[in-house]
Amino acid sequence: MNQVKIKVSSKFLPERSNPLKSKFFFSYAVNIHNTANMTVQLLSRYWRITDGNGNSEEIYGPGVVGQTPVLKPMESFKYSSFCSIVTPVGFMEGRYRMNDGRKEVDVLIDAFQLTANEYLN
């Protein structure tokens, strides 16, 4: 379903992180925009979070931040969340399962960087 556009930005959270214990926290803000001419509903999410060592964690769950938002044509839904990894760099990618009233479709979320610039050489 390429009429649902996903934009994600991430930010390092130094106040929650503890580099001496290999804990690097990041927030990420997601904007889901429905450009289709039909109403869609976000049913579930899948994220793969990969650290700088290549180790991945997979997260599945219903909805996002406790919601299964319904987006009418040209509507957007925004939310923020956070994650942690053991290295100052990594990335996230995933997909949302959406329902357009006729069928369920996966909307891919392109990989985006998790970077704590102040801890890089």
Q: Are 94 and 109 in contact (CB under 8 A)?
A: yes
Among 34, 37, 35, 15, CA closest to 26: 15
The confidence score (pLDDT) of residue 121 equals 61
According to DSSP, the residues that pair with 44 across neighbouring strands are 62, 97
Q: List, in order of start, the domains of the chain with CATH numbers.
A: 4-119 (2.60.40.1470)
Q: Are 13 and 107 in contact (CB under 8 A)?
A: no
The confidence score (pLDDT) of residue 120 equals 72
- Reported as a single tens digit per residue, the pLDDT across 56-114 is 999 999 999 999 999 999 999 999 999 999 999 999 999 999 999 999 999 999 999 99
pTM, full prediction: 0.93
Q: What is the mean pLDDT of residues 31-53?
A: 98
pLDDT band at 117 (very low <50, low <70, confident <90, very high): confident
In whole angstroms, what is the distance from residue 21 CA to residue 112 CA? Answer: 24
In whole angstroms, what is the distance from residue 96 CA to residue 115 CA? Answer: 23
